[in-house]
Amino acid sequence: MTISFAGKVAVVTGAGNGLGRSHALELAKRGAKVVVNDLGGARDGSGASSEASQDVVRLIEDMGGEAISHGANVANFDEVQDMIQQAMEKWGRIDILINNAGILRDKSFSKMTIDDFKLVMDVHVMGSVNCTKAVWDIMREQNYGRIVMTTSSSGMYGNFGQSNYGAAKMAVLGLMNTLVLEGAKNNIHINALAPTAGTRMTEDLMPAEIVKAFAPEAVTAGMLTLCDEDAPSRFILCAGAGGYASASIFETEGCFIPQTEQSPEAVRENWHELTAQDNQAELASGAKQGEKFVMKAMAFMKSQQH
């Protein structure tokens, strides 16, 4: 069945270049009205220009679609609110938010300044928080919303020289996990995309022919499955160069050590059972971990009564 976004309004941040541009154009091709957000800075976050986002708007209008551009800095909540207000005045609803805007300030942790760390956290984490907060009540009132966070293998698995970026990209998954629970009753689905693409951020790191294989379009095809009406919720989709995979956090079944026997030595002795993966599971919420441990304690107490 063809995935369509007819009648839907989408906000795409960082949509002047690379992945965001690809996302915005494809959403528009499939019928969405699009807010093309881009501060127009360099990839380290410096400077600002509305040229790139206006080019994307022109491309969308040339193919018969509707779009507006907005230069909000996603790290500034007032600017983000102004962007959302303009979209509401023009179209009266917001169905989709793609949190894509990002910057890089790569350096090993020992050489990185605290300012470089904070700035990357501000754009990726607070940028996603600000945009999501600005659309949250609108989506709740509509009883419909689709939000995509942009995470990264650098966050999930680590990448040398990217402690700031990795921390930020893991943080948006924590944000997603809780918002999934809070948005469920209002039909708000939130997913995460972990892209590997040849964009401005990575183009000078790979040979040209490899960059071509990592075209943003391959990632966008995956992204569109995370924000349509039939989208899952709380799904981490990894995509790049034609490859697609899902990532999940699993927890082992674990072991139980009675209160009278608790010591670091006992924990170490039970390491094999504690790490055994045969009954590992994805937990639906943080409370489920607590429930599991309480059940283990209760089962032990019961066994002592007989």
Active site residue 165: yes
Instruction: Count other C-beta atoms under 10 Å from residue 240's C-beta.
Output: 20
The single residue of 144, 157, 165, 244 carrying the catalytic annotation is: 165
Beta-ladder partners of 58 = none
Q: Dihedral of the CA atoms 256, 259, 265, 269 (nearest 10)?
A: -20
User: How far is 189 from 15, CA to CA, in rounded Å?
Assistant: 21
Q: Taking phi first (over 0 means left), then psi (-120 to 50 degrees means alpha), and beta for anything else, what does residue 139 get?
A: alpha
Residue type, 279: N
Q: Which residues are catalytic?
A: 165
